[in-house]
């Protein structure tokens, strides 16, 4: 079972789908309209690559909060492979949640920590990442609009 937590460190001890549904119900009862943005960022180290995947719940005009999952993998992968792995982790979560979010009419975006400027190395994975996300039927955002991955996940990796 993949472990999720809140930013304050509190673990989410129920299945993710159930936690997200409870969150939607609670936030809707408070009168908040939600949007969900999912993103992943990574940090390579000599012995491993650390990943952080976040589910950001945005309350329309009222801020937001996030659920966080941290994981690690072997270090010997190229930058492009790492970028695609980030996207795959985000897409996996989006796919798991999409039917629930549709049922509650909650917008979903998948954010990729990939630069649209060809002068940046991460740009080498842009076409593949965009194709992957769009082919799954999700709304795609890249830098500078991909705050879930480039700001939120970046802070907890």
**What's the pLDDT tens digit per position in 3-59?**
999 999 999 999 999 999 999 999 999 999 999 999 999 999 999 999 999 999 999
**Cβ-count burial of 88 within 10 angstroms (0-12 exposed, 13-18 middle, 19+ buried)?**
middle
pLDDT at 1 over 80: no
For residues 123 and 66, the model is more confident at 66
* Domains of the chain, each with CATH number or no CATH: 4-156 (3.30.420)
125 in Cβ contact with 80 (< 8 Å): yes
38 in Cβ contact with 108 (< 8 Å): yes
Reported as a single tens digit per residue, the pLDDT across 62-110 is 999 999 999 999 888 999 999 999 999 999 999 999 999 999 999 999 9
**Cβ-count burial of 117 within 10 angstroms (0-12 exposed, 13-18 middle, 19+ buried)?**
exposed
Q: Tell me, what's the pLDDT at 98?
A: 97
The angle subtended at Cα 84 by Cα 81 and Cα 88, nearest 5°, is 135
Q: Tell me, what's the pLDDT at 40?
A: 98
User: What is the rounded distance in angstroms from the CA atom of residue 85 to the CA atom of residue 118?
Assistant: 20
Beta strands (DSSP E) in the chain are: 4-6, 11-12, 34-44, 49-59, 64-73, 107-115, 139-143
Name the pLDDT band for 155 (thresholds 50, 70, 90). Answer: very high
Q: Tell me, what's the pLDDT at 124?
A: 86
**Is cis: bond before 144, omega within 30 of 0?**
yes
Q: What would you measure as the largest C-alpha separation in the chain, in angstroms?
A: 47
Average pLDDT, the chain: 95
pLDDT at 2 over 90: no
């Amino acid at each position: 079972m993949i472990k999720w937590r809140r930013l304050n460190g509190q673990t989410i001890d129920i299945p993710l789908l159930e936690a997200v549904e409870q969150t939607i119900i609670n936030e809707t009862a408070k009168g908040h309209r939600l949007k969900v943005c999912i993103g992943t960022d990574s940090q390579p180290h000599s012995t491993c690559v650390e990943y952080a995947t976040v589910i950001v719940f945005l309350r329309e005009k009222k801020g937001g909060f996030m659920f966080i999952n941290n994981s690690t993998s072997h270090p010997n992968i190229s930058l492009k492979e790492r970028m695609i792995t980030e996207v795959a982790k985000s897409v996996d979560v989006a796919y798991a949640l999409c039917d629930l979010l549709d049922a509650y009419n909650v917008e979903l975006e998948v954010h990729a920590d990939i630069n649209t400027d060809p002068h940046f190395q991460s740009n080498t994975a842009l076409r593949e990442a965009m194709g992957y996300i769009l082919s799954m039927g999700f709304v795609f955002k890249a830098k500078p609009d991909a705050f879930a991955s480039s700001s939120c996940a970046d802070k907890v990796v």
